[in-house]
Amino acid sequence: MHLSPHPQAGKHFRINIDNGSSPALHDQMLHGSLFQLLDWADRIANNTSFTARQKEVALMFYAHRCLPDLPVTDPFPPKDLPLDGLVFGVSERKNYYPGLDSKVYKAIVVLRETELRDVE
């Protein structure tokens, strides 16, 4: 576990998810979104800005997206979910479906550090 915050905490990035030729819908929705890095994923429990349920859901989405063979356990995600090299933060994106509205949606997201690109 990391004892100190991520050195780039607070910085904005673009999410860059490369899932080959058939990415999942959730990945398509995240790809290109603005992302504010908050901290290492193994420190997510210490964050007081989000509810326990929001943190659990962010970890579940990561597990389902990146570890599809992980057995479903109760509680989920399991305490031994590997969090090395993962960060969490807030993604900001406009509505994925054109024509519905132009609202900006924010969500807590867990990503690999390698899925982040500098904002240009």
**In terms of residue numbers, what domain contains 92?**
12-118
- Domain count for the chain: 1
What's the pLDDT tens digit per position in 74-110? 666 677 788 999 999 999 876 656 666 667 778 899 9
Structural domain contains residue 7: no
The one-character DSSP state at 44 is G
Structural domain contains residue 87: yes
CA distance 60 to 56: 6
Structural domain contains residue 2: no
Structural domain contains residue 3: no
Structural domain contains residue 5: no
Q: Which amino acid is present at 110? A: V
Q: Residue 106's pLDDT is what?
A: 83
**Can you tell me whether residue 80 is helix, strand or coil?**
coil
Structural domain contains residue 70: yes
Residue 59 has pLDDT above 70, yes or no: yes
What's the pLDDT tens digit per position in 4-42? 999 999 999 999 887 655 556 666 778 888 999 999 999
CA distance 25 to 23: 6
Structural domain contains residue 103: yes
